[in-house]
A = this chain, B = another copy of it.
Amino acid sequence: MASRLSHYMDLTEQETSVLEELEKSPTEINKGDILFSEGDETSELFIVQKGWLASSTMLMVGERQTLQLHFPGSMVGSASIAFNRAMATVEAVSEVRLCRFPRTSLGDLFGDQPRLSALFYSVAMLEQVDLCDRLKALGRTQGKARLANLLLSIFAQLRVIQGDDLNELKMPLRQTDMADAIGLTPVYVNRVLSELADDRLIERVGKTIRILDEDRLEQIGEFENRFKEIDTSWFPEAPST
């Protein structure tokens, strides 16, 4: 996480070491494993080091809505922090390496590291804006736009950690998973994927997806990349030490 956050703000040595303290003793979990389930009593937070996770929620009828995807460098479990129960189920979409730490460590961080606190707050707001973008997509656009938007959002988040030249990807999500993310059925996702490919906007070979015409995809999906930078101008001073 330190390396992703340093993308947004220069960290002092002390801040880096505080973050690294949260990331000691990583554990690995397998594709399909569930980190925690909606309703679980949990007071832990996680930092993703490798792989993807998805948090989702079930409806009473048995349908699923995926709320967020979590990529390396992000914190998982924070959304549930205002409650003593998990608000969503978090599942590994691929092989995942992550580190767990108790909520109280975050409390300590709020006590000792004002600048990091502000950064965490900002990252939370970034996530909130991302959720708003998805809300806009689900509320006011149709299939093609929703899928274009999802794909671009995934690429944008991966580029923060893998570099800006990324334009091809071995997709670990099944079409069912994409459907759950954008509120469609798997059958229809398949049709829309084919349409995007027919339009030469993307290319599909097996499970890999390549962006062919990013400009037009952005236009169709009404996509704006929010993940490039964060405004840190209002942050408090780093502790002097």
**Which residues in A have some Cβ–Cβ distance to B below 8 Å?**
43, 57, 59-60, 63-65, 67-68, 78-84, 87-88, 102-104, 106-108, 110-112, 114-115, 117-118, 120-129, 131-132, 134-136, 138-141, 182-183, 219, 222, 226, 230-231, 233-237
Contacts and interface: CB of A to CB of B under 8 A. Distances in A.
B120 A231 contact: no
Contacts of A102: 234
Copy number in this complex?
A: 2
A112 B112 CA distance: 10
A38 B156 CA distance: 21
B125 A65 contact: no
A72 to B, nearest CB: 19
Given A107-B118, A124-B124, A124-B125, A67 B231 contact: no
A132 B131 contact: yes
Contacts of A226: 83, 87
A67 B107 contact: no
B182 A110 contact: no
Which of A112, A114, A237 has the most chain B CB within a 10 Å cutoff?
Answer: A114
Given A110-B118, A140-B59, A236-B111, A135 B65 contact: yes
